[in-house]
Structure 1
Amino acid sequence: MTNLPNPTLDAIFQSLSAGECSGAAALADLVRSLRPSSATDHEQAVMNLRALAWLLEHHPAYRQALRTALLELLTQTRQIPLYTESGILANTGFFSTLSKRVGERLLPMPIREDSLQDRFGRLFRWKQDHIWLAGIPDETWQQLWQAMAWQEEADRAGWVQTRLQMVEAVQILSARVTAIGLEPELVRVYPEIERFESPFLHLNAAVLSYADSYRRALADDTPQAEDDKHVLVLLDQCEEILGKIRKNASRNGISVNLTYQALRLLQSLHRLRALLALLEPGHDPGHNPALFHLIQDFARAENRKYSVSDVFKSNTELLALQVTEHAGRHGEHYIAESRREWAGMARAAMGAGLIVGVMALIKLLLAQAHLPLLWEGLSYGLNYAIGFIIVQLLHFTIATKQPAMTAARIAAALHQQEKSGSKVPLDELAELVVKVMRTQFVAILGNVLLAIPTAALIALGWQAVFGQPVVGTAKAQHLLHDLDPLGSLALLHAAIAGVYLFLSGLIAGYYDNKAIYRRIPERLAAHPLLNKLLGKHRAWKLGHYVEHNLGALAGNFYFGLFLGLTGTIGIILGLPLDIRHITFSAANLAFGLVALDFQLPLGMIALYCGGVALIGFTNLAVSFSMALWVALRSRKLSGRQVLPLLPLLLKRFIRQPLQFFIPPAAPRPATDEAAGDKPAGS
């Protein structure tokens, strides 16, 4: 299809050719006219560029004026910062970069007319310019480049100056790559960098030799004596080491600073490759897609240069993956594979229910002490925290702690299915979800079925010993009203508890990663004072215990504080904030019913029991969905990849509903069948 000339473009070129406007103003008007009405309208953007190419092909004066304007822009500005800084993280660290972007967003830096980076940012000032630029295919860019007919340009001084500045930018980037590659953070994760000849050290020397050869070739107008092949080999080796550093993070731990340095190193390596591709002698840059991709990268960097979310997302991605990976490894212990493990989970849940009954009593007694507001909140939090830690030390299970762990395990399985590209792992993933659901069911059942009788027995015993109930009538009615899903904010408060459950899972993964990254187990085992007090073997055992339990202990501690302090914060802020947790709600149901001597209509009791069930469902749904979302995002997966599981799970539920609650019996050994026994399940 022939593209007719755009009247706006024609007017811009007539004004530029007649000298009625400056080159800078004409370029700004040109970009404005090429910009589509919507950033996602890639078809319009392509048509606009083709119309520009048509004009340039049919009007020699227009393309001469455009070439002159572009060369004027290049020769009158400093180009190096655009090549070495735009789209590459600064050497200021993660938190300094965050604060700098916030400051520059509130009070932007003035535009420097002698900076190509600033002038480029002013040309593509619309915050979505990078979107429509990225939607233009390489063929359209090449068509525009050919239409400009650069071979007609007599003045080569501008291009020589541009190439010299690119060479200098390559040297600057190689020096930065060498410095980052030898950072202690990276060496700690991959010590082989120091043991063998580091490509980061050799890279700078190779680039220096290449740059000297390139400059001599430009000055003498002779073929280049040394090409960039050796530099490209070293870049391959540097990228290989960077990949190993990211893989080793699962064994050695990760930090935000390490992720920041690794990302900065990767950006610098990619920019080096792009500049070297453009500097290759004897090749027209217009035939190299690297030129157009660089323009898109520069536009995106300038459009997003004040974005805080971009820095946060890109630099916490690997840390989020590590946190969810650690949570996923814990999640494997919360999934019962057989009836024996399922029964063991039930016993562990019942043990936790027993302790929660006692914790609920202590909480009610603390409320009767009428402590000052802050101290009351702290006492509630410590009661929860110490109780949860005791549950952890005794290897019991709080049912609502499972979703944050098992979600990461499911996301890991989804990621494996995505990489394999096969439909077989989808069936295995459905089986994993079924195991998670029935393990969750028995854990909740164990918690509630023992929390209720424990609390009831405590309340009856208290009344028999002291001659009065644990709580008065008004308090008992208040406890039961808080379980009403229709007449109170029980479900909202249950959702808040679900958020805390999700956060406690992340905190557990974070501290597990921290224990590895900071080498806390080894430091404890080698601590002179601990070796003196406990002995070498016990100090080692302490370090081993911390390695495997620090995250769980920290998660339980913070979770307890979250639960205890929420109500206090709500009172201080004047907001209806509180928490509802299924196990404690079940215990409170028993305390309230005993205090009222069970003198309630059966319908009211059923309503409160239903409220406890809905509180539990909300706890689990909120914590599981948030944990699954984070686990998927950390692996660059989307929620849509979970959708194929839903019909598969529905079919399984219709065919074998009991498997969602009770594991199937284990098949008999093959030796029994060989002996003539009847096969299991027949």
Structure 2
Amino acid sequence: MSQNLTLESALQAIVATQSDRSPTGLAGLIAALRPHNVTQINLATNSLRSLAWLLDQNAAYRSALRHYLMKLVSSRRQLHLYTDAGILSNEGVWSAFRRRLGEKLLPSEYRDDYLRDLFGRVFDHKDDYEWVNAVPDAVWLEVWQALNFAEGNHAHDERNTQLELVEAAQVLSYRISAIGLEPELVRNYPAIEKFESPFLTQNVELRDYLEGYKAQLIEPSKSREDDKAVCVLLDQCDEIVMRVRKTSAHEGVSVSLTYLMVRLSQHLERLRLVLDLLEQEHSRQTPERAVRFFKQLVEAENRKTSLRDLFATNTDLLALQITEHAGRTGEHYIASNRREWLAMAKSAMGAGFIVGFMALLKIFTAKLKLAPLIEAFAFSMNYSLGFMLIHMLHFTIATKQPAMTAAKIAASIERQSKAGDAQDGLVELIEAVARTQFVAIMGNVLIAIPTALLIALSLKYGLDSEPISTEKAYSLLHDLDPFHSLAIPHAAIAGCCLFLAGLISGYYDNKAVYNRIPARLMQLQLPRRLFGEARWQRICTYIENNLGALAGNFFFGIMLGSMGTLGFLLGLPLDIRHITFSSANLAYAAVALDFQLPWQIWLTSSVGVLLIGLTNLAVSFGLALSVALRSRRIRFVDRRSLVRKLFQRLLRSPQRFFIAPKEIVTATPNHKPEQ
């Protein structure tokens, strides 16, 4: 009852000022409908139904609100509402970022003569779109039908709205033609130049249609063509957009191309809506589409300065391609049979051997007491060049796997969710990832430790040189203590670096394909003469296949090497802990102290190494899987069932999570374990 009284008060205020063009009355009505909490959807739904009932029962309320709404609409410029609201503007992503950031700090001027700005005054709460979208379309239609526009004589206002829609259709059509001629779009779909472009012909057909429409508005007895020909051409435009998106799966994509695709799709969808509104007498879906359009406008107004929405909208295709390239790399990290499992073990052992030397080189570099930035550069080059050498020798760092295999698991989840298949294939994939990850870690650690021991003992007893001092040894042991140091947070930072390295790797793989870097390199005359045609061709092919991995390893090394210095400069406790390097450091510390360590320190350090490794893997895998799932716009399906099946598989055959079977498992592709 109290809600009805509030609604009646708002309606009575509109009755008293129905000739006023101020949005105050409508803002008061929306305030009466707005729930106290956006999650109270039932309250908002009941309020709208109460409004529909009041309008249906009271002719004065109905007439006043109808007249007031028509006055608000007809007295304002409508064009920008149809052509700009909820549509990306003709600017780059970074220009849009700067503009939105500026509007957050200093809101744009309110222009009362624009209908688009009216939404900002009426729906002035930033979360209004949540309850507006949550209310069923049928309830909003009840309110619209209760207004009963057939009762009044609004021919003049309807004609003005139709003319605004005609102008909006023209503007949208011109923009579609312009976007369709963008060089980047033509480059990715050359057939546009060979055949008659639907982006141009739709404009020709639309002009003819709109001329006939305006002529009929002036003289209703005249006949005109419908919009079917225009809609066919718009469908052809949509088909080209889909083809470009499919082409990008193997030819790469850029942020600017994604921006063009999003803008083009938005304009095509909006033009269809405008045509439906113009043909409302012949379209049964017009009221429903009008309601959806209304919801889009409210959300667009509430979120017009959202930076998160801007990047989420314009980087989805790029993120998908980056994770796709990472996923294809991740296939090399999944051993489906015993032969591949053993090959992964050998590959990991090779990496562990090299890390033993890298850990010592870092210790020696730290002894030099270089200036902070010089030291960061030296550490970074040690890591970067070492990781790149590991890749070039086809060895494997175990912690690089999660960021790559997460995309493969996300692809499997997507296939399962689309096909509705059982989760057996996904369970087998996770099982294969687990045992491959296990053998890679064991290969790294079990070789890094004896390599470090052998180096340290050789230096100590062969060359009579202490690789590290006693103080440094105790410092290394303290860094491994998970209870009295920041070992675990530092391991989490390393996990974030691993995740970023995976994204960088996918980004450069995408960049190599999209920018056709190998083909452009082949055009260079100097290296062709220097190396010879055949050898330079092999180098370019290697770059094409390995640019992403090399770049990922290079930047990963920079992140690891400079993190401690960055923390020093900022006065923050920033550093990294990596399981393979930590295990090597444990060996160097043990030799420096002549293995005279209490069992408590042995136990604490061993537990520290284990927890560092688990943190490295958990953080990098969790972040990578989250991005891969979001880029595909999917969610985990039936998590409980998946966990239950994994647990059942673990109880039934626990060895399969650690040792690969001899037979080939068809759940995962047959690839050699290369980085």
Q: Secondary structure of 1:151's partner?
A: coil
C-alpha deviation, 1:524, in angstroms: 1.2
What TM-score results when the alignment is normalised by the length of structure 1? 0.94
User: Partner residue of 2:561?
Assistant: 564
Which stretch has the larger CA shift, 633-642 or 19-28?
A: 19-28
- Counterpart mapping for 1:80-479 below 5 A: 80-280=79-279, 282-283=281-282, 288-423=287-422, 426-479=423-476
- The answer to whether residue 584 in structure 2 is matched with residue 578 in structure 1 is no
Provide the C-alpha distance between the structure 1 equivalents of 2:259 and 2:322, rounded to a whole number of angstroms. 16
Quick one: higher RCO (CA 8 Å, sep 6+), 1 or 2? Answer: 2
| Number of residue pairs aligned between Structure 1 and Structure 2 | 664
User: Partner residue of 1:16?
Assistant: 14
Q: 8 Å contact 1:187–1:193 — kept in the other structure?
A: yes
C-alpha deviation, 1:281, in angstroms: 5.4
Provide the C-alpha distance between the structure 2 equivalents of 1:479 and 1:281, rounded to a whole number of angstroms. 75
Q: Secondary structure of 2:36's partner?
A: coil
Provide the C-alpha distance between the structure 1 equivalents of 2:371 and 2:2, rounded to a whole number of angstroms. 79
Provide the C-alpha distance between the structure 2 equivalents of 1:172 and 1:20, rounded to a whole number of angstroms. 33
Counterpart of 1:616, as a letter, is G
1:229–1:197 Cα change, 3 Å: same
- The answer to whether residue 609 in structure 2 is matched with residue 612 in structure 1 is yes
Counterpart of 2:602, as a letter, is I
Counterpart of 1:179, as a letter, is A
Provide the C-alpha distance between the structure 2 equivalents of 1:326 and 1:490, rounded to a whole number of angstroms. 32
C-alpha deviation, 1:284, in angstroms: 8.3
C-alpha deviation, 1:184, in angstroms: 1.4
Q: 8 Å contact 1:483–1:585 — kept in the other structure?
A: yes
Q: 8 Å contact 2:508–2:547 — kept in the other structure?
A: yes
User: Partner residue of 1:507?
Assistant: 504
- The answer to whether residue 580 in structure 2 is matched with residue 603 in structure 1 is no
C-alpha deviation, 1:667, in angstroms: 8.0
User: Partner residue of 1:518?
Assistant: 515
C-alpha deviation, 1:402, in angstroms: 0.7
- The answer to whether residue 484 in structure 2 is matched with residue 492 in structure 1 is no
1:666–1:57 Cα change, 3 Å: closer
1:122–1:351 Cα change, 3 Å: same
Provide the C-alpha distance between the structure 2 equivalents of 1:260 and 1:15, rounded to a whole number of angstroms. 45
Counterpart of 1:476, as a letter, is A
User: Partner residue of 1:480?
Assistant: 477
1:541 paired residue among 518, 538, 543? 538
C-alpha deviation, 1:642, in angstroms: 4.5
User: Partner residue of 1:676?
Assistant: none
Provide the C-alpha distance between the structure 2 equivalents of 1:662 and 1:14, rounded to a whole number of angstroms. 77
Counterpart of 2:142, as a letter, is Q
Provide the C-alpha distance between the structure 2 equivalents of 1:471 and 1:320, rounded to a whole number of angstroms. 44
1:58–1:470 Cα change, 3 Å: same
C-alpha distance after superposition, 1:446-503 (max 9, x if no partner): 1111111111111111112432310111111111121111121111111111111111
Provide the C-alpha distance between the structure 2 equivalents of 1:462 and 1:667, rounded to a whole number of angstroms. 45
1:286–1:23 Cα change, 3 Å: farther
C-alpha deviation, 1:121, in angstroms: 2.0
Counterpart of 1:660, as a letter, is F
Provide the C-alpha distance between the structure 1 equivalents of 2:335 and 2:15, rounded to a whole number of angstroms. 78
Provide the C-alpha distance between the structure 2 equivalents of 1:121 and 1:576, rounded to a whole number of angstroms. 45
C-alpha distance after superposition, 1:264-295 (max 9, x if no partner): 11111111111111110535889621111111
1:36–1:292 Cα change, 3 Å: same
Counterpart of 1:508, as a letter, is S
Provide the C-alpha distance between the structure 2 equivalents of 1:606 and 1:240, rounded to a whole number of angstroms. 63
Q: 8 Å contact 1:472–1:595 — kept in the other structure?
A: yes
Q: 8 Å contact 2:326–2:503 — kept in the other structure?
A: yes
User: Partner residue of 2:672?
Assistant: none
C-alpha distance after superposition, 1:498-556 (max 9, x if no partner): 11111101100000000011110111122222222222222222221111100000010
Counterpart of 1:13, as a letter, is L
Q: Secondary structure of 1:10's partner?
A: helix
Provide the C-alpha distance between the structure 2 equivalents of 1:30 and 1:584, rounded to a whole number of angstroms. 65
Counterpart of 2:475, as a letter, is H
C-alpha distance after superposition, 1:572-601 (max 9, x if no partner): 112111111111111111111111111112
1:589 paired residue among 554, 572, 586? 586
C-alpha distance after superposition, 1:85-138 (max 9, x if no partner): 000000011110111000011001111011000112211111122222222333
Counterpart of 2:459, as a letter, is W
C-alpha deviation, 1:22, in angstroms: 3.0
What TM-score results when the alignment is normalised by the length of structure 2? 0.95
Q: Secondary structure of 1:89's partner?
A: coil
**Which ranges in structure 2 are unaligned for 5 or more consecutive residues?**
666-675
C-alpha distance after superposition, 1:174-233 (max 9, x if no partner): 111111122111122222222222110101111111111110000112354111001111
Q: Secondary structure of 2:480's partner?
A: coil
C-alpha deviation, 1:602, in angstroms: 2.7
Provide the C-alpha distance between the structure 2 equivalents of 1:512 and 1:564, rounded to a whole number of angstroms. 24
Q: 8 Å contact 1:524–1:540 — kept in the other structure?
A: no
Counterpart of 1:477, as a letter, is Y
Provide the C-alpha distance between the structure 2 equivalents of 1:12 and 1:665, rounded to a whole number of angstroms. 76
C-alpha distance after superposition, 1:296-319 (max 9, x if no partner): 111110011111110011111111
Q: CA RMSD in A?
A: 1.8
Provide the C-alpha distance between the structure 2 equivalents of 1:467 and 1:16, rounded to a whole number of angstroms. 95
C-alpha deviation, 1:436, in angstroms: 0.8
1:228–1:202 Cα change, 3 Å: same
Counterpart of 1:480, as a letter, is L
Q: 8 Å contact 1:63–1:148 — kept in the other structure?
A: yes
Q: 8 Å contact 2:277–2:286 — kept in the other structure?
A: no
Provide the C-alpha distance between the structure 2 equivalents of 1:550 and 1:275, rounded to a whole number of angstroms. 47
Q: Secondary structure of 1:644's partner?
A: helix
Counterpart of 1:259, as a letter, is T
